[in-house]
Amino acid sequence: MLKKLYVLILISFIIFYVGIFLAPYTAYLGEGSEVFRWVSFYIYAIYSTICHQLPQRSYFIFGHKMAVCARCFGIYTGVLIGMFIYPFIKRLGNFKMPSKWYLIIALTPMAIDGTTQLIGLRESFNELRFITGFIAGFVGVFYILPVFLKILSKS
């Protein structure tokens, strides 16, 4: 049962992750097609609910910005890779949370990067945003996935 739930969660997240690339790809196709232009518009609109999508803080592919900024892309990439290796590190039926200190340590670089930029001490750059987001997303899986599996296995 847990293996099926894990696979369902993983596939759902992969679909979400692919959308990050579909937005710029359909925008590229939309340069010659009204239909793809509208598809791209709606994909960007969906992802705008979870990310600011500022162009200067985003990676570009196919000549268009991705559906999320570099930091969010790092978070979601970390989550995806973490989800793939999760069952090799921890049993799916083990709902015990790791020490909170691992999460605090993983979130600290992102907090420092974001805060020092916010208060004007320096300007961050996309590679650093991606890396700090990746660390947070990867470690976050080990706190979020057990909760999802536990809740869904009871229903």
What domain range is 17 assigned to? 1-153
In which band, very low, low, confident or very high, does the pLDDT at 154 lie, cut at 50, 70 and 90? confident
Q: What pLDDT does 34 receive?
A: 96
Task: Quickly state the pLDDT bin for 1 (edges 50, 70, 90).
Answer: confident
Question: Smallest Cα–Cα separation from 147: which of 81, 98, 77?
Answer: 98
CB within 8 Å of 73: residues ≥ 6 apart:
20, 58, 59, 66, 130, 133
Task: Please check whether residue 101 is in contact with residue 111, taking contact to mean a CB–CB distance below 8 angstroms.
Answer: no
pLDDT in tens, 63-82: 999 999 999 999 999 999 99
Q: Give how many domains the chain has, as a whole number.
A: 1
Contact 67, 57 (CB under 8 A): no
Q: What is the pLDDT of residue 120?
A: 94
Whole-number pLDDT of residue 111: 97
Tens of pLDDT, residues 29-66:
999 999 999 999 999 999 999 999 999 999 999 999 99
